[in-house]
Structure 1
């Protein structure tokens, strides 16, 4: 059955009551320098400061605390959802296995293992890890939990929108990185339900843009998945994903960014704002930078979705020319 944005918004309110004792209400931080040259007010919703370093904790807690998460559970992740799900499984006493691509960032892998869950490495990218987890679940040994194609996961991500509505009286635009669409669908549904005048910008990486291409086509399409600094949003999407219709209904603009733009944005956040984030979070800023000259006098929120990075990566970025 199709899921409406009104349904997701209602579920987000319910999810918040279940998960709020386990998460941080993350700050909305005014930019020090970014946006000034265009006379645009910019604020960062800092999910990189979330308890597990990513917004993914919200969706994982929402799902694992719901009645549908029973028995032996299995999920797939590029890393951040795996960390959130592993944390949720520990605090909620759930039996969980996490399937990760063989290319997972080492820091994320170590964080997942820290919570004592079973880990399987499979495939060169997240889409292949998802298919493997689904195949294992189809054997009857597990209940599969999608990192994005699930109403309770999406509702958990939507709790970010409820916080923003309380933290900021007016928001003209919000920039959200696009992966499987759970964040875009959840946050977008809440904002469109309560503040429909807010413009939703979905930002995709040129090297892996399955959701953006599917929105443009009106149905799920496969795309090439090349290496990207925004590895947390890389990979394909399920053929039956509910995020496609939700994302299509809430999104106002799609912005596509290349690797050079993502790299510059990671560095700008570190050097100009003293904020350390991963490439998928900087992707949202890269999208803002593309259109900033059209946003004079407006208030824009940039969603910093995660900050789980290797120290060597940040050192190389900050020292780059």
Structure 2
């Protein structure tokens, strides 16, 4: 089944009504230093300040509050979607199992377990965890919830776009990290429907770029997945994912960033902006940094998608050369 960006935008309005009492409308924070050297106005949409530490709770609440989520549920995640889904299951009294790769960050694993959901560890990257959850659902014991390949999940993420348009009169560019494509498809659908002149940049980690490579190929392809600081956006995508068509229709530019560029962006957020963000959030800033010299006089919003980091991660980054 395919969806138009107009349908996603309309669904976002409905999703917002369902989830607004369970989420935090995150601030749009003007940068203190970043962008100033290029005379570019930069603002951070701080989903790292969301109740669960990432935007993923929006999509999870949207899905779990919908009529289609009535039976025993199972989902898969690299961590942040699992946290959001576990939180949603707790506040909405839903039974949930979360499948995670064995490489999940300990801090994210502990947070998921704190909501008393069943946890299964399987595989070494998110795509393998997703495939295992889908196999378990195929047995008939569960209803599977994709972390990105679901219109109601995407509509929840799209509520970020609605908030941005209320918080900011003019927006020239938005920079969004690319994983499975739910965040990109959601925000992009709202902006291209309501503010079509806004340029949408999708930022992909070189070490794990399934969606970017699939968009370039015009169909879903397999890619190698190497370790990345942006682990929350790592892993493969479903062959039938609706995000491929949606992302392709809203994207103006794709930028790839390597590990050194992501690390530099994490450090810049901490030292220049006093913002703690995980690698997947810093990835969006890394993409902005690569084109900042072309954006003089423009207003850009950088989506900080999450801030769930290990306790010593930021200290190591700040002290690095």
Instruction: Give the TM-score range, shorter chain.
Output: over 0.9
Deviation at 1:52, TM superposition (A): 0.2
| Rounded Cα–Cα distance in structure 2 between residues aligned with 1:72 and 1:124 | 25
1:24 & 1:112 partners in 2: Cα distance?
A: 19
1:301 aligns with 2:305: no
Determine whether 1:110 maps to 2:110.
Answer: yes
Other-structure match for 2:147:
147
Q: Following superposition of structure 1 onto structure 2, how do residues 90-239 of structure 1 map, counting pairs within 5 Å? A: 90-239=90-239
Which position in structure 2 is the counterpart of 1:3? Answer: 3
Please state if 1:26 is matched with 2:26: yes
User: Post-superposition shift, 1:2?
Assistant: 1.3
Q: In structure 1, what is the equivalent of residue 37 of structure 2?
A: 37
Q: How far apart are residue 197 of structure 1 and its match?
A: 0.2
2:97 and 2:70 map into 1 onto residues whose CA distance is: 13
Q: Compute the displacement of 1:278 (Å).
A: 0.2
Post-superposition offset of 1:160:
0.1
**2:312 alignment partner in structure 1:** 312
Alpha-carbon distance, 1:312 to partner: 1.3
Deviation at 1:311, TM superposition (A): 1.2
Answering whether residue 271 of structure 2 is matched by residue 261 of structure 1, we say no
In the alignment, the residues of structure 1 paired with residue 295 and residue 166 of structure 2 have an alpha-carbon distance, to the nearest angstrom, of: 23
Q: Does the alignment pair 1:74 with 2:79? A: no
Partner of 1:252 in structure 2?
252
* SS of residue matched to 1:255: strand
1:273 maps to 273
CA deviations on 1:123-153 (whole Å, 9 max, x unpaired) are 0000000000000000000000000000000
| TM superposition score normalised by structure 1 | 1.00
Alpha-carbon distance in 2 for matches of 1:194, 1:28: 19
State the secondary structure of the residue aligned to 1:22: coil
Deviation of 1:285 after TM superposition, in Å, equals 0.1
Provide runs of 4+ in structure 1 moved above 6 Å.
none
Q: Deviations over 1:176-210 (max 9, x none)?
A: 00000000000000010000000000000000000
Residue of structure 2 in register with 1:89 after alignment: 89
Q: Distance in 2 between matches of 1:318 and 1:73?
A: 40
* Distance in 2 (alpha carbons) for counterparts of 1:10 and 1:163: 14
SS at structure 2 position matched to 1:21:
coil
Give the superposition deviation at 1:313: 1.1
2:282 aligns to what? 282
Q: Distance in 2 between matches of 1:234 and 1:315?
A: 23
Distance in 2 (alpha carbons) for counterparts of 1:29 and 1:291: 20
RMSD: 0.3
Partner Cα distance (1:125, 1:315) in 2: 26
CA distance in 1, matches of 2:234, 2:209: 7
Distance (Å, rounded) in 2 between the aligned partners of 1:170 and 1:222: 38
Q: Where does the alignment leave 5 or more consecutive residues of structure 2 unmatched?
A: none
Whole-Å separation in 1 of the counterparts to 2:2 and 2:45: 29
How many residues of Structure 1 are paired with residues of Structure 2 in the alignment?
Answer: 321
The answer to whether 1:242 aligns with 2:256 is no
For residues 312 and 39 of structure 1, the distance between their equivalents in structure 2, rounded to whole angstroms, comes to 34
Report how far residue 230 of structure 1 moved.
Answer: 0.1
The Cα of 1:19 is off from its aligned counterpart by 0.1
